Amino acid sequence: MRVKALDHLVLTVADPEASIAFYERLGMRREEFGDGRLALRFGDQKINLHQAGVEIRPHAERPTPGAADLCLLIEGPLEAAERELTDAGVVIELGPVERSGARGPIRSLYLRDPDDNLVEIAEELGT
């Protein structure tokens, strides 16, 4: 067996609507599926949302809001994303800083979502 891609991941959140509003500012779009379940779609992936205390089974052993650390690649220059985030009132915790991504060097901004998950917004620098 070989893993070929990430289909989705799950974030446990205190307030799904607050999380959706935050991630929509990052260019994701709300998706409803199944029996009223919520997700955030971007590209060929999605983030499913579980509300803390009413998680969908099966779930992580200790689902907790604020325990995730995500890196999201953006289209376009990081400076434009930084201006957009700042104009929207999103606090940037760190950056821009250079890091090593899965596909090569990246330049990143770090911020927090409504549950205090660490969200890294990155542009690929090329090889």
When pLDDT is cut at 50, 70 and 90, the band that residue 50 belongs to is: very high
Tell me the one-letter amino acid at 115.
D
**Closest by alpha carbon to 24, among 77, 69, 88?**
88
pTM of the model: 0.93
Q: How many CA atoms lie within 13 A of 96 on its CB side?
A: 18
Burial class (CB within 10 angstroms; exposed 0-12, middle 13-18, buried 19+) of 88: exposed
Query: Is 93 annotated as catalytic?
Result: no
CATH superfamily of the domain spanning 8-124: 2,3-Dihydroxybiphenyl 1,2-Dioxygenase, domain 1 (3.10.180.10)
Residue 97 pairs in a beta bridge with 108
Q: What does the block give as tokens for 65?
A: 């809001």
Active-site residue, from 31, 120, 123, 124 = 120
Average pLDDT over residues 91-117: 97
Average confidence score pLDDT of the chain: 96
Per-residue pLDDT reduced to its tens digit, 5-43: 999 999 999 999 999 999 999 999 999 999 999 999 999
Per-residue pLDDT for 127 more than 80?
no
The stretch 69-80 carries a mean pLDDT of 96
User: CA-CA distance, 108 to 122, in Å (whole number)?
Assistant: 4
Q: Residue 88's closest CA among 45, 27, 30, 39?
A: 27
Tell me the percentage of the chain whose pLDDT exceeds 70.
99
Domain boundaries, the chain: 8-124
Instruction: In whole angstroms, give the CA distance from residue 23 to residue 25.
Output: 5
pLDDT at 126: 79
Region 89-104: mean pLDDT is 96
Residue 89 DSSP symbol: T
